[in-house]
Structure 1
Amino acid sequence: MAAFTIRPATSSDGVFLADMVVEAANWRDGINRPRPTVLADPVYKNYISGWQRPSDSGVVAVDEDARPIGAAWYRLFPQNVQAHGFVATGVPELIIGVRPLWRAQGVGRALMEELMDAARRAGFARLALSVEHGNYATALYRSEGFSVVESRVGRDTMVRRLV
């Protein structure tokens, strides 16, 4: 396994987080949702617009040359803002993306574990996420304690208790 480290996300990571939203949207081989299309989608746009708000927190994985290779972050959304994994006010939604060459090498798991620790330290009792049906990352989410709380056409909302 190649070496990587994890650092806190900063306000200057906004462009990279947008890259990771695009990666997350393009998880399926053979499907290419162009960057402008993904970032124009109002829901995907909500995951990065105005990064880094006071309630935002995230982590970035970097390779041995300090190049970013993946990120996980959470945001709080009010009920009237579109988000794929919204479950309740006060429950942050986790967003994660990893560059394709780094998938299945422990990067996603390490990012999630670090972010869950940060959310716990910040006093949150739960984290939510959304995953499209068929996405192989569902197995990772289940192994990290997330369970399906809502299933809609094409995607599931999952929640993990942190306390």
Structure 2
Amino acid sequence: MMDTIAFRKVDQKDQRILEGMLYAALFIPQGEPIPPASVVRKPELSKYYLHWGRTGDMGIIAIVGEIPIAACWSRIHPENDPGYGFVDEYTPELTIAVKDGWRNRGLGKGLLSRLCDDNRSAGFKSMSLSVDKRNPAQNLYNRLGFKIVAENGTAYTMLKSLQPVKIS
């Protein structure tokens, strides 16, 4: 029997799901110790899910039955408390997680494409993200039009324009 994947928008009751998905989104290079799940409660990480429902918050969760298997969400961070992929106060920063066992099935690409469409429809001109230089997900971001705009230690900040391409 094939698993049926359903999609729904993230809402305020999903804060715990986003917390778990943020942990799944962490890139741990091979050979490095796996941090405890509580690491996502640190202020520099919890800002990605706490108080969900602020202006500009958008996201999509993929579920099988009642079990979340993937999520892609974005939020705007203020300049005085920027995220890792911060560009400015007008650019939503995205987070994406696909749980083990569900990767390499096109789920991340589908979620990311939907979230880009939602942000474009909401009037945002671009989206940003932070990715570890060693993370193979960087290839997906490149294919979907994200460009490296900054380098910070072991990570890149990438930006994708949501503006329509003008063909002359």
SS state at 2:19 partner: helix
Structure of greater Rg:
2
Residue 137 of structure 1 aligns with which residue?
137
- Give the aligned partner of residue 39 of structure 2: 37
Larger displacement relative to structure 2 (2-11 or 105-114):
2-11
Q: CA deviation at 1:28?
A: 4.0
Q: What residue in structure 2 maps to residue 53 of structure 1?
A: 54
Q: TM-score, normalised by structure 2?
A: 0.89
The number of aligned residues is 161
What is the correspondence of 1:44-83 to structure 2 with a 5 Å cutoff?
44-63=45-64, 65-83=65-83
Would the alpha carbon gap of residues 27 and 102 (structure 1) be closer, same or farther in structure 2, given more than 3 Å must change? farther
Percent of aligned pairs with the same amino acid: 34
Quick one: structure 1 residues 27 and 156, their matched pair in 2 at CA, closer, same or farther if it must change by over 3 Å? same
1:150 aligns with 2:150: yes
Taking structure 1 as reference, are residues 102 and 28 closer, same or farther at Cα in structure 2, changes over 3 Å only?
Answer: farther
Alignment-derived partner of residue 166 in structure 2? none
TM-score (norm 1): 0.92
Unaligned runs of 5+ in 2: 164-168
* Counterpart in the other structure of 2:92: 92
SS in 2 for 1:85: coil
Following TM superposition, the consecutive aligned residue runs of length 4 or more in structure 1 with deviations greater than 6 angstroms are: none
- Greater CA drift, 15-24 or 29-38: 29-38
User: Matches of 1:79 and 1:54 in 2, distance apart?
Assistant: 15
| 1:53-97 deviations in Å (ceiling 9; x for gaps) | 13201000112x242111111101111113100001201101111
Change (3 A) 1:27 1:69: farther
| Unmatched runs of 5 consecutive residues or more in structure 1 | none
Report the counterpart of residue 7 of structure 2 in structure 1: 6
In structure 1, how many angstroms separate the alpha carbons of the residues matched to 2:29 and 2:10?
26
1:116-135 matches, within 5 Å, as 116-135=116-135
Distance 1:2 1:138, change over 3 A: farther
